[in-house]
C-alpha cells in the first residue's frame, strides 16, 4: 500500500508573503496534488489528526483574510484548485462524527460564503453525524455572537462590519435546526436591532455624520462600509425571522400557543426600542429615510411586508387576541411613513447601488429599458438581466474567490443563460468548464458589432464611366442582321423537326400495314378531353377555373407537341423502342391522334 504524505498545517499570510511568486506557485501545486491523493483515500485513512488540522488551519486563514478584505478592499489570494479541493475535503469529513466544532463550521461558512447551497449541505451532514451541534449552538454560539453585537465588543465600525459578515455567513449555511436557537432568543434579536439602529448611528456620528450632498459625490470608504454593514445585518434578520414564522405556521396545539407567545414577545420588544437617532451631518432635522435613519423592523417591513405574513400566522393561534390587530396596524404604519418616497424607494442603499456606474433606467448591457421595450421583431429568449445592484453583488461574490479575473469577464458570464447566479459561475471557474475570457470577448464583440452605415457592394467596374446612350436592352434595338440570324436559326430548327417527323411517319405507316395518314388541318377534339398544364388530362365536369376564378387558356395539341419536344427531344427518336415507349403512347393519348400527323401539319 503506497504511503501518502500527511497534509501540513496551512501557513499564515505572513509566512506565505516571504515566498517568491514561483515558490508560492510550487507550494500550491504540491498542496493541490496532495489534496487529490487524500481525497482518493477511503474514509478510514482520510480521517486523521493531520487532515483535520490542515482543514482547520486553512479555513481559519481564509476566513481571516476574507474579513480583512471587507475593510481594505484587498481580496484574499487563494489558489483556485486548492480552494475547491479543500471544500471537497470538508464535505467528506462532515460525515465523520465530531469532526467539526462550531468554530470550524463558522470559518467554513465565511471562507465559502459564495457557496451557500454547498455550505448548507455540509452543515446538514455535520448535524446528522453530530446531533449535539444543535445543543452547542444554543448553549455557546448564540450567547457568544450576542455579546459581539454590544458596542463595547465591536471595536468600532470595522469590528461591527466583520461581525455582521460572520452572522450572515453562518446563518446562510445553517439549516433551520441551527437557526432556531437564534430565532427563539430575544436577547439576540434585540441585540441585532440595537446594533442596526443605535450602534450604527453612533458610529456615523463619530465620523462626522453622513452629508446630505452624497448624491453628487463619491462615497467615503467608511460610508460604504457603514451601508454594507446594514445590508448584512438586515439579511441576517431576514434569515432568522423567516425560520421563526415557519415554526409558528407549522406548530399546533400547545406548541402553537408557546410559539405565538414567544413571537409576540420578540416583535413587541423590537417595536419598543427607542427610535434611532439622526445620522446626517449638521443640526438640520431630516425625515426618515429607508436604510438610513429608521429602525430595523421598519426597514424590514419596507422590504418584506412583515405585517401580512406575521398577522396571518399569529391569527391561527390567537384569533381573538387584540395584540394581532395592534401589531399589524403598527407595522403598516411604517408603509405610510415611507409612502412619500415611494414604497419601492431603495433609500440609502441607492448610494451603494450607484457605485456600479450604470445610469438609472439602464440595464447592465448599456441599453435603456425604454429602448429594450420598443425593439420589435423576433429575438432569442434569454435570461433576464439582473438589476444593476444584484449584478454587482454577484460580481463581487465571484471576485472574492477569483480576484485575478476581470469584472467585465465575470459580468458577461453572469449574463449567460447557463449561469444563473454567482455560485454557478464560481463552480464553473473552479472546475474549468467556463468559457475562456477571449472567447467571451469575441462573442460580445460579434453580438454588439453593428454597421454604422449601409453596406455597399462594389466591383471592378464601379469606377468606369458608362455612356447611357449606348445601352441596349433586349431585341428592341437589335439591328437587321441580328434579326435575320435569329430567323434563320428558327427556320433551321423547324426544318430539322419536320424531317424527323416525316421519317417517323413513314416508319409508322410501314408498321400499320401501309395505311396512309391523312393530314387534316381542321381537327376537332371535342370537349371530352382538355389538356391541362404539363399534359395531364382532366375529364369534363371538373373545375375549369384557376384559384382566382379565371378560366385557363385552352392548350392546343400543337402546343402539347412543342412542349414535349422542348422537354425531351429524344421523344421523337426513330428507333423502335422509343416508338413503343410509354411516353409516346401517353402523348398520343393526350392529342387523340397520331402525334406525327399533328406535327407534320404544324410544321408544313
Q: What is the DSSP string of 200-244?
A: HHHHHHHTT-B-GGGGGSPPPHHHHHHHHHHHHHHHHHHHHHHHH
Alpha carbon distance 43, 96 (integer Å): 9
Alpha carbon distance 203, 157 (integer Å): 6
Out of 84-93, 379-388, 561-570, pick the least confident: 379-388
Can you read off the three cell numbers belonging to residue 283? 443640526
In sequence order, what are the beta bridge partners of 537?
531
Can you read off the three cell numbers belonging to residue 72? 481594505
Can you read off the three cell numbers belonging to residue 135? 445543543
User: 572 to each of 466, 517, 556, how far by Cα in Å?
Assistant: 48, 17, 19
Give the tens place of pLDDT for each residue, 48-75. Answer: 899 999 999 999 999 999 999 988 877 7
Give the orientation angle of helix 186-194 with respect to helix 296-304, to 10 degrees.
Answer: 90
Residue 253's pLDDT is what?
Answer: 82
- Assess contact for 501 and 572: CB atoms under 8 A: yes
Instruction: State the DSSP code for 138.
Output: I
- Assess contact for 292 and 348: CB atoms under 8 A: yes
16-30 average pLDDT score: 89
- How does residue 561 score in pLDDT terms, banded at 50, 70 and 90? confident
Q: What is the pTM of this model?
A: 0.58
- Assess contact for 201 and 274: CB atoms under 8 A: no
Residue 514's pLDDT is what?
Answer: 46
- Assess contact for 211 and 284: CB atoms under 8 A: no
% of the chain beyond a pLDDT of 70? 65
Count the neighbouring beta carbons within 10 Å of the beta carbon of residue 488. 10
Closest alpha carbon to 113 in 71, 81, 65, 184: 65
User: 125 to each of 21, 60, 166, how far by Cα in Å?
Assistant: 38, 20, 21
CB-side exposure of 232: number of CA atoms within 13 Å?
25
Residue 523's pLDDT is what?
Answer: 35
3-state DSSP call for residue 280? strand
% of the chain beyond a pLDDT of 90? 22
Quick one: CA dihedral 362, 363, 367, 370, positive or negative? negative
Give the tens place of pLDDT for each residue, 156-204. Answer: 899 999 999 999 999 999 999 999 999 999 999 999 999 998 899 899 8
Mean per-residue pLDDT of the chain: 74
φ, ψ of residue 84 to 5 degrees: the values are -70, -40
Contacts of 299 (CB under 8 A, 6+ apart): 234, 290, 291, 347
- The label of the residue with cell 390567537 reads 318
555-567 average pLDDT score: 73
- The burial of 94, by beta-carbon neighbours within 10 Å (0-12 exposed, 13-18 middle, 19 or more buried), is given as buried
Amino acid at each position: 500500500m503506497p504511503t501518502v504524505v500527511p497534509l501540513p498545517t496551512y501557513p499564515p499570510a505572513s509566512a506565505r508573503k516571504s515566498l517568491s511568486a514561483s515558490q508560492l506557485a510550487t507550494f500550491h501545486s504540491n498542496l493541490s496534488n496532495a489534496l487529490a491523493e487524500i481525497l482518493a483515500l477511503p474514509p478510514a485513512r482520510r480521517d486523521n489528526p493531520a487532515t483535520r488540522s490542515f482543514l482547520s488551519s486553512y479555513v481559519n486563514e481564509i476566513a481571516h483574510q476574507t474579513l480583512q478584505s471587507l475593510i481594505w478592499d484587498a481580496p484574499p489570494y487563494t489558489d483556485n484548485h486548492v480552494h475547491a479541493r479543500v471544500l471537497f475535503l470538508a464535505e467528506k469529513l462532515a460525515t465523520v462524527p465530531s469532526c467539526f466544532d462550531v468554530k470550524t463550521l463558522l470559518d467554513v461558512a465565511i471562507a465559502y460564503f459564495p457557496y451557500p447551497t454547498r455550505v448548507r449541505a455540509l452543515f446538514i451532514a455535520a448535524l446528522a453525524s453530530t446531533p449535539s451541534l444543535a445543543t452547542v449552538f444554543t448553549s455557546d454560539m448564540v450567547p457568544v455572537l450576542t455579546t459581539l453585537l454590544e458596542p463595547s465588543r465591536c471595536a468600532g465600525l470595522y469590528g461591527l462590519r466583520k461581525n455582521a459578515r460572520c452572522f450572515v455567513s453562518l446563518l446562510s449555511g445553517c439549516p433551520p435546526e441551527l437557526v432556531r436557537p437564534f430565532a427563539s432568543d430575544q436577547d439576540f434579536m434585540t441585540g441585532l436591532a440595537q446594533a442596526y439602529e443605535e450602534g450604527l448611528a453612533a458610529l456615523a456620528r463619530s465620523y462626522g455624520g453622513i452629508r446630505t450632498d452624497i448624491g453628487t459625490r463619491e462615497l467615503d470608504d467608511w460610508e460604504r462600509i457603514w451601508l454594507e454593514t446594514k445590508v448584512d445585518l438586515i439579511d441576517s434578520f431576514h434569515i432568522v425571522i423567516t425560520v421563526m414564522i415557519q415554526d409558528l405556521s407549522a406548530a399546533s396545539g400547545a406548541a402553537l400557543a408557546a410559539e405565538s407567545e414567544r413571537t409576540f414577545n420578540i416583535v413587541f420588544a423590537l417595536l419598543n426600542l427607542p427610535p434611532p437617532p439622526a445620522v446626517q451631518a449638521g443640526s438640520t432635522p431630516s425625515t426618515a429615510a429607508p436604510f438610513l435613519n429608521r429602525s430595523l423592523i421598519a426597514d424590514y417591513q419596507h422590504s418584506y411586508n412583515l405585517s401580512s405574513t406575521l398577522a396571518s400566522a399569529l391569527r391561527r393561534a390567537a384569533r381573538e387576541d387584540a395584540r394581532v390587530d395592534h401589531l399589524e396596524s403598527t407595522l403598516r404604519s411604517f408603509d405610510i411613513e415611507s409612502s412619500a418616497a415611494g414604497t419601492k424607494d431603495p433609500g440609502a442603499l441607492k448610494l451603494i447601488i450607484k457605485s456600479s456606474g450604470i445610469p438609472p433606467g439602464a440595464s447592465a448591457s448599456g441599453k435603456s429599458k425604454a429602448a429594450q421595450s420598443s425593439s420589435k421583431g423576433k429575438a432569442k429568449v434569454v435570461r433576464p438581466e439582473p438589476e444593476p445592484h444584484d449584478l454587482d453583488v454577484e460580481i463581487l461574490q465571484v471576485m472574492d474567490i477569483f480576484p485575478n479575473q476581470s469584472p467585465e469577464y465575470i459580468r458577461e458570464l453572469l449574463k449567460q443563460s447557463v449561469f444563473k447566479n454567482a455560485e454557478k459561475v464560481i463552480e464553473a471557474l473552479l472546475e474549468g468548464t467556463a468559457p475562456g475570457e477571449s472567447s467571451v470577448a469575441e462573442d460580445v464583440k460579434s453580438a454588439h458589432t453593428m454597421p454604422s452605415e449601409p453596406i455597399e457592394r462594389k466591383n471592378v467596374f464601379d469606377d468606369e464611366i458608362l455612356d447611357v446612350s449606348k445601352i441596349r436592352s433586349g431585341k428592341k434595338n437589335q439591328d437587321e442582321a441580328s434579326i435575320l440570324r435569329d430567323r434563320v436559326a428558327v427556320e433551321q430548327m423547324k426544318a430539322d423537326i419536320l424531317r424527323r417527323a416525316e421519317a417517323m411517319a413513314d416508319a409508322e405507316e410501314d408498321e400499320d400495314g401501309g395505311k396512309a395518314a391523312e393530314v387534316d388541318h381542321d381537327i376537332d377534339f371535342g370537349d371530352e378531353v382538355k389538356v391541362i398544364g404539363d399534359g395531364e388530362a382532366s375529364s369534363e365536369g371538373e373545375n375549369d377555373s384557376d384559384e382566382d376564378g379565371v378560366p385557363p387558356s385552352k392548350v392546343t395539341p400543337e402546343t402539347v407537341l412543342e412542349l414535349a419536344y422542348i422537354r425531351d427531344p429524344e421523344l421523337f427518336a426513330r428507333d423502335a423502342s422509343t416508338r413503343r415507349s410509354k411516353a409516346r403512347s401517353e402523348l398520343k393519348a393526350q392529342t387523340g391522334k397520331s402525334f406525327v400527323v399533328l406535327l407534320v401539319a404544324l410544321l408544313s
